[in-house]
Structure formats: structure tokens, C-alpha cells
Structure 1
Amino acid sequence: MLRKRSSLILCGTFLFITWNAILVLLLWGRPPAGQMEETGQKHSEVAEKPTNDLMGDLLRIADTLEAELEIQKNFLIEIQSHRTLWKASNRNRSKVIMPPEPAIPILVIACNRVTVKRCLDKLLQFRPSAELSPIIVSQDCGHAETAEVIRSYGNQVTHLKQPDLSDIAVRPEHKKFQGYYKISRHYHWALNQVFKTLSHSSVVIVEDDLEVAPDFFDYFRALLPLLKADPSLWCASAWNDNGRDGYVDPGKANLLYRTDFFPGLGWMLLREVWEELEPKWPASFWDDWMRQPEQRRNRACIRPEISRTLTFGRQGVSLGQFFDKYLRYIKLNTEFVPFTKLDLSYLKEETYRKDFDKEVYSAPVVTYEDINKGKLKGPGPFRLQYSNKESFKVLARNLGIMDDLKSGVPRTGYRGVVSFLSRGRRIYLAPPPGWSQYDPTWS
């Protein structure tokens, strides 16, 4: 653009000088006035033939030149005005202000585990920006040693302390679940701090026993616009419940899914969703409460093929439930996937549902014996069909994937379908064609 502008100015200047040179020659060499009349020119536009009155001739030429110069002056003024417009246009273009990237805080829920250091070290190691990814550690329990570990990070993290450490009045049969009540109370307080006190518009929640993958931050930043734009989504999670080594495809670290099951364990929440959930937040067992139809409202979450979090906390209020059998074997992604540079439009509901149903129900149906005895022919995928709660649980248990259901939804399930690898081949454990909805009694 600059080169074009300079060329035009030079061209205009050249034309101006050339025009005036030709003008002088024409004025001195014009034919007699009579001849000019024969061509239809007016007397007022024709210079008289030079006379013996040199001074008079010069004055007449000067008058004519003055008129012509006025025309050229106006022409140059017009060029200059265009030049000014170009400059203003370029200035405005250079001053176009892109909307700033939103900060996505990481909320670390902590209590009495000094091993929170492992969690924080990984977060700080992979965090690309302190401004875009502030780390907020919310500590319950009042455990002094854990508080000291958190304080040792100085201004690299924000340390919040849950002020209410009192026991919670519960029914006698729930006394052993006191820890779950306190966790729910802590989540409620901490999320209010993030959204109401600190005024953030989104948050990624991790607990103090999670280690994150190298692309953890890029993963959530890429999913934020999708989460905001698609009302059929209500969270994004870094976790695959069936993500054990051997059950996921290591060659598809960039593969993401929609799931009807709320995964947790490193998940993103929008302020709008919190405003919906906060008034009815439960006294305990908040994660199972999130999986109820009244909260989910037929919305889905995004989850990865390969987990971006790994839990190392065997000891906790759940007393190691599932840890030894499943969680300790979850594969943590090690390959950095630039999710913010990928096209994730395939995750939009209409597109995803259509493609997913087509792939699942066009896959050949096989039996458990075919899988177990290595009789599958071809690369897959293959469909293994279940018909009721009992057949699902038996097949899931025999295949080594998690067999529990919450409000009728299997872990990682989408439209009743659970996707995983078995002996290197993709298996879809699926209900019969025509599936319409979950049965909440399957729990």
C-alpha cells in the first residue's frame, strides 16, 4: 500500500511539471487567433499572437500561467487529500485493538496433603502465562504444613483459606461421610470466591492430588470458545475414566469426545453455569449430584481420548475407591497437542451426533467371545451390543472398563455408547439402534 501511494505522488508531480512545460511551449507557439476560431475554440481561450509590445506579451502570458497554475494547484491539493486519507486509514488499521484473551484461572482445591507441591510444580512448569492462567489455591482443613508448602510459592500463586472449619451437623448414619460434606462446602465457598469476589468468567478446577499434562493449558484455552458458544455443553474435562494404558489410542492424542457423563478431575466451568448451580448446591457428594438429570439437563461435556490429568492421591475421603484397580493405571498424555490451532468444530452437537451415530451403528456387530478369543477381522471399529443394565455391567467388567453407572449414564458414555480400545481395536459398547434416553434406575 505504501509503495502504491509513493508511486502515485511521484506520478502526480511528474505530470504537473510536464504539463507546465508543455503549456509554456504552446503559449509561445500557438497559431493565429483566426485559425483557432476555425477549429471552434473561443476567443477567450486563445492567446493572442506575440506583438512588438514585449511587456504586454509577458503580462498576458503571466495571466494565463496563473490561471493554469491555479488548476494544477487544485489538482495537487486533491492528491494531498487522498494521501491524508491513506495515512489515516493505515493509522486506524494499525490501531485496531484485538479483544484481550480472557484469563482462565486454575483453582486448586487443597486440604491437608503436602503433596500439593507436586500438583503446583507441574502447573507452574507448563503454565504459559501468569496473567492468562493465574493459579488460586483454596485451602480447607487449616493444616499448617500444607499451608506452609503453599506459602513457599510466594506470589506465583494466590493462597485462599476457607474460613469455616467447623464440623457439619449430619444424620447419624452419615457421620462417616463428614468429609464429603466439608468438601462440598469448600467447593461452594471457593467457587464463589473465583466468580463473585474475583469476578472471573470461567475457571478450571483441579484437586491437590492431580498432575497435569504439558498441553493442559492449551487444551482448556481451545475449548473455552466452544463451551461458550454451544448451549448443549456445560463443562470440559481433562479426564478419561477409561483412559488406562492399552484402552486408549496413543496415536490419537488430539482426539476429543462429547460425553454425557460428568468426569470431573480437572474440569472447566463457566460463570453462567455456576450461577445456575450455586443456589441449589448440595450439602455433600457434589460430583454425583452433578450427574443427576436435574443438573445435567441433557447437556454434555468434552473429554479427551488420553487424559490430561493423572491422580496420585490414593488416600482421601474415598479411601482409595477405584484407585488400585483403575486410577493408578490412567495414561497421562506426554505429547504436546496445539489444540488452539486445531479445528474443533466437529465437536458441535449436530455435527458430532450425526457422525458418531453413523460410525457406531455402521460398525459390524461382534460378541464378547470374538473379542476375548482374538477373532476380530479387520482394523475396526466394532460394535458390541448390550440390552440392559445387567448385560452392560457384565460386558464392561469382563472387558476391564469401569462398570458403574450414575443416574443411568455409564462413565465416558455418549448416547449410551462407551468407546475404548481392546487389543488394539476400537470397540463401541453400545445399546441397540434407536436409543432415545437414559434410564435413571440403572444405578
Structure 2
Amino acid sequence: MFRKKGSLIVCGAFVFITWNAILVLFLRGREPGDPGRQQREAVPEGPTDDVLGEVLRMADTFGAELTRQKDILLQIQKHRSLWEPDRGEPDPPAPPPPVIPILVIACNRVTVRRCLDKLLQYRPSAQLHPIIVSQDCGHADTAQVIRSYGDQVMHLEQPDLSDVPVKPEHRKFQGYYKISRHYRWAMNQVFNNPAHSTVVIVEDDLEVAPDFFEYFRALLPVLRADPRLWCVSAWNDNGRSGWVDPGQAALLHRTDFFPGLGWMILRQLWEELEPKWPDAFWDDWMRQPEQRRDRACIRPEISRTLTFGRQGVSLGQFYDKYLRFIKLSSEFVPFTKLDLSYLQEDTYRDAFTREVYGSPLVTYEDVKLGRLQGHGPVRLQYSTKDSFKILAKNLGVMEDLKSGVPRTGYRGVVGFFSKGRRIYLAPPPGWSHYDPTWS
């Protein structure tokens, strides 16, 4: 409204001044022999016969008026801000969207095709999400599968295929040593050649969900902004069908347990970890207090990855009992459009603690026999390593601990969904730290 009013004022001033200028030019341009002038001379109009002088005096008057109008126009221009809103300095150009490469760790599985097909199917941009396949083992058939994708993926081959020198009692773990060596080499390639600022790591036996890329793009700024986070994972260790809330595909959690199986870290973390990277068992090493340093990861309620690799160096540990039943989200959640501020450390911890310890305390028999009242969350309490393991096993969640931290645990609490309600397996109120001897 103000802008429209200002435009009308300026336009009116311009028309008035232009009209006056035309009138002055008209009067000055008339010659003494002009017929109109002779006609006026025939009819005396005043006491003077110096018509030309009178016209010139009028022109001077109009000239002075034009000068005054010019001053008015300058004042109008000077005070434009009174009717036009201040737009301030122009907004700086938006920063370019971040590039998040996907590093696929491969070896001798030709089924890497299943992993790559899903990544390419759901990838929103080749420029923003380059797919880098790093292959160890020198397996020719697997290499041929990877090369068949042409320039859709970048194929790297680990140059050192030799056995890793190990103690005699660790010869059976040679595969774990090679995997750790490969991870170190591959991560250095991503962070140094070229120098990316972040990466998402997946193994060649993972299938991804439709919103896999959306999930990581939304959580990258959360990871960057919170020094109490050190990774984002697409995996829920207790994410079997029946143990997750099917109506909460958008729900995310903090966890003190490093989940792996589709995880994102920043370059700064790799610069911290790389100098002391272990010779073997890198994932358990990541879960030690010296590396975790009281930092958490983000995980989803419903997993965004699914493992289909029963065979491997771990000989299918946990696969038949847990991993093959993990529910893979089939719903696309627009995470980049959601408010994820609830994941900030202080906000999340306070809300989580209130919900857990504000829930009624029940026994395993209450849960087993269906003696629970209402529909809200309930809490079961453990106080020792053995009581945790017994309750976890009976409740159907993973009972193993790494450096004292249970899978999916946050502040000692394992939350899961069962028979239509949230259940918290929790230590007594006042929990302060994990006991690394609980393993």
C-alpha cells in the first residue's frame, strides 16, 4: 500500500513539472509576427504594450516555479523511505547444497548389485550423492558387476591384498584384520581424494529405504551443529517387525550405542580416529569409551537399511535370530521439511527422562500376562548386568552389551515397542554412567 501511494505521488509530481515545462517552451517559442500575438495586440488587455517583455517575465516566473518543483521532487525522493518499506541489504546468495558421497564397502559378493540398484533407484542427484564402491579381495566376478554400472559409480580397488601379520591365536580372525585395513584405506580415499567433508558408509549387503538420502540430508546439519553427536545411523538394532511402532516412521532417537550398518560421519571425526584406527574389530573399537567419549548417534525408529548378507566373516552372527527380521521402512518421510530440533541434546534428554521415569513401573510378569493398565508407556527396571540380560532376552530384544552399553541404549535405557505400547527397560532413577565391565 505504501509503495503504491509513493508511486502515485512521484507520478503526479512528474506530470505537473512536465506540463509546466511544455508551457514555458510554448511561450518562449512564439515569434513577434505570430498571428495569435497580432490578434491579442488588436484587443488591449492591460496598461502595458510590452507583450514580449510580459511573456519573458512570465517565463521567468515559470522557471522559478520549475526550480521549486524540482526541489519538491528531490524532497520526495529523499523521504521515500517513509512510504516504502526498507528492504535493507540484498540477501547473500544461498550456499550450495552439501555433497554427501556414499561409500560402499565391497569384497567378494556379486550380490552387491542389489545394494547398488537400490542406491541408484532412490538417488535424487548424482552430483550431490556420488557413489564410490571400494572393493577389497580382488574378486573378479564382483569387480565385473561393479564395472557394469559404468560412470554411474566410481570403482576403487584396494591395492594391498596381502595377509595381515597377526598373532598365531588370531589367524582365524584374518578376515577382520583385512576389513579394518580396507576401511582405513577407503575412508582416506573419500576424505582426501577428493576431500569430502562428510560420508555415508554402507556395506555391500545392505538394501536401502526410499527416503535413505532424504534422511541423511536432513540430519547432516543436526550432526554438524551438535558436538555431543558423532554419527547418524540408518539402523535400529531392535528394529524387528513387532518391536517398532509402525505408525512412527518419522520418529528418530538418540543412542549411546554405535549402530553402524549405514552411518554418516564428518571429516573432523575421521581426522580424530584415523591416527589410532585399530588393526581389527573396528566396530567394537568404535564402541569403546575412549572413542565414543560420551557422544551419541541418531537412529531411526524404523530402519532405513536392511542386511541381506547372512554369510561373512562374522558367520551370520545374530542373522537368523534378529537381523533377517528387521523391518525396512517403505514410507518416504520428507525429513528435510520436518522440525528436528527435538533431537538436540538438552531438549531430548529432558523429555526422554521425564517420559521414562514418569511411566509406571511394572514387572515382567505384568507384561507377559497382559496385566498392564492404560495405553501409555511402561517401565521395567534392571539393576545388574545379569538382570538386564535376562529381561532383554525374555522381552525379545538384543541382550548383548559393548563396553557396558546395550544396543539402542540411551542413558542406560533400551526403548522398544511391543503389543501396542512403548516399553522402557531402564536402570534405577539417577543413572550417571555405563560400567565398561558389563560386556
TM-score with structure 1 setting the length: 0.89
CA contact (8 A) 2:10 2:73 kept: no
How far apart, in 1, do the equivalents of 2:21 and 2:124 lie?
64
Q: Which amino acid aligns with 1:408?
A: G
Give the SS at the match of 1:365.
coil
Residue in structure 1 matched with residue 224 of structure 2 by the alignment: 228
- Asked if 1:14 is matched to 2:15, the reply is yes
Give the SS at the match of 2:388.
helix
Note the C-alpha offset of 1:380: 2.1
Give the SS at the match of 2:290.
helix
CA 1:236/1:77 → structure 2, altered by over 3 Å: closer, same or farther? same
CA contact (8 A) 1:12 1:79 kept: no
- Asked if 1:425 is matched to 2:417, the reply is no
Q: Which amino acid aligns with 2:68?
A: I
- Asked if 1:262 is matched to 2:258, the reply is yes
Deviations 1:174-224 (A, max 9, x none): 101111101101110111111112110000000000000001111111110
Structure 2 residue corresponding to 1:355, chosen from 348, 351, 357: 351
Residue in structure 1 matched with residue 381 of structure 2 by the alignment: 385
Give the SS at the match of 2:313.
coil
How far apart, in 1, do the equivalents of 2:353 and 2:205 lie?
36
How far apart, in 2, do the equivalents of 1:156 and 1:92 lie?
42
CA contact (8 A) 1:238 1:266 kept: yes
Note the C-alpha offset of 1:64: 1.9
Give the SS at the match of 2:261.
coil
- Write out aligned runs for 1:234-383 (5 A): 234-383=230-379
Structure 2 residue corresponding to 1:435, chosen from 412, 431, 434: 431
How far apart, in 1, do the equivalents of 2:296 and 2:94 lie?
31
- Write out aligned runs for 1:172-251 (5 A): 172-251=168-247
How far apart, in 2, do the equivalents of 1:279 and 1:3 lie?
65
Q: Which amino acid aligns with 2:58?
A: I
- For structure 2, the 5+ residue unaligned runs are 26-45
Q: Which amino acid aligns with 1:71?
A: R
- For structure 1, the 5+ residue unaligned runs are 25-48
CA 1:96/1:152 → structure 2, altered by over 3 Å: closer, same or farther? same
Note the C-alpha offset of 1:374: 1.2
CA 1:146/1:378 → structure 2, altered by over 3 Å: closer, same or farther? same
How far apart, in 2, do the equivalents of 1:179 and 1:246 lie?
34
- Write out aligned runs for 1:131-142 (5 A): 131-142=127-138
- The percentage of counterpart residues that share the same residue type is 72
How far apart, in 2, do the equivalents of 1:276 and 1:373 lie?
49
Q: Which amino acid aligns with 1:280?
A: K
Deviations 1:24-54 (A, max 9, x none): 9xxxxxxxxxxxxxxxxxxxxxxxx973311
How far apart, in 2, do the equivalents of 1:126 and 1:14 lie?
61
Residue in structure 2 matched with residue 168 of structure 1 by the alignment: 164
Structure 1 residue corresponding to 2:55, chosen from 55, 58, 64: 58
Note the C-alpha offset of 1:80: 7.5
CA contact (8 A) 1:50 1:57 kept: no
How far apart, in 1, do the equivalents of 2:55 and 2:16 lie?
25
Give the SS at the match of 1:236.
strand
Deviations 1:116-160 (A, max 9, x none): 000000001111111111111111111111111111111111111
Residue in structure 1 matched with residue 147 of structure 2 by the alignment: 151
Residue in structure 2 matched with residue 70 of structure 1 by the alignment: 67
Q: Which segment drifts farther, 62-71 or 299-308?
A: 62-71
Deviations 1:56-110 (A, max 9, x none): 1111111222222233345556778999xx9xx99974x8410011100010001
CA 1:69/1:205 → structure 2, altered by over 3 Å: closer, same or farther? same
Note the C-alpha offset of 1:278: 0.5
Give the SS at the match of 2:408.
coil
Deviations 1:233-286 (A, max 9, x none): 000000000000000000001100000000000000100000000100000000
- Asked if 1:116 is matched to 2:112, the reply is yes
Note the C-alpha offset of 1:15: 4.1
Q: Which amino acid aligns with 1:58?
A: V
How far apart, in 2, do the equivalents of 1:339 and 1:189 lie?
32
CA 1:101/1:387 → structure 2, altered by over 3 Å: closer, same or farther? same
How far apart, in 1, do the equivalents of 2:258 and 2:16 lie?
74
Deviations 1:402-428 (A, max 9, x none): 000000000000000000112222100
Note the C-alpha offset of 1:9: 3.8
Deviations 1:312-341 (A, max 9, x none): 000111010000000000000001110000
CA 1:4/1:290 → structure 2, altered by over 3 Å: closer, same or farther? farther
CA-based RMSD of the aligned residues comes to 2.5
Deviations 1:285-329 (A, max 9, x none): 000000000000000000000000000000111010000000000
CA contact (8 A) 1:307 1:332 kept: yes
CA contact (8 A) 1:417 1:428 kept: yes
- Write out aligned runs for 1:404-419 (5 A): 404-419=400-415
Q: Which amino acid aligns with 1:361?
A: Y
Residue in structure 2 matched with residue 38 of structure 1 by the alignment: none
Residue in structure 1 matched with residue 38 of structure 2 by the alignment: none
How far apart, in 1, do the equivalents of 2:156 and 2:397 lie?
38
Q: Which amino acid aligns with 1:367?
A: T
CA contact (8 A) 1:411 1:418 kept: yes
- Write out aligned runs for 1:27-46 (5 A): none
CA 1:340/1:53 → structure 2, altered by over 3 Å: closer, same or farther? same
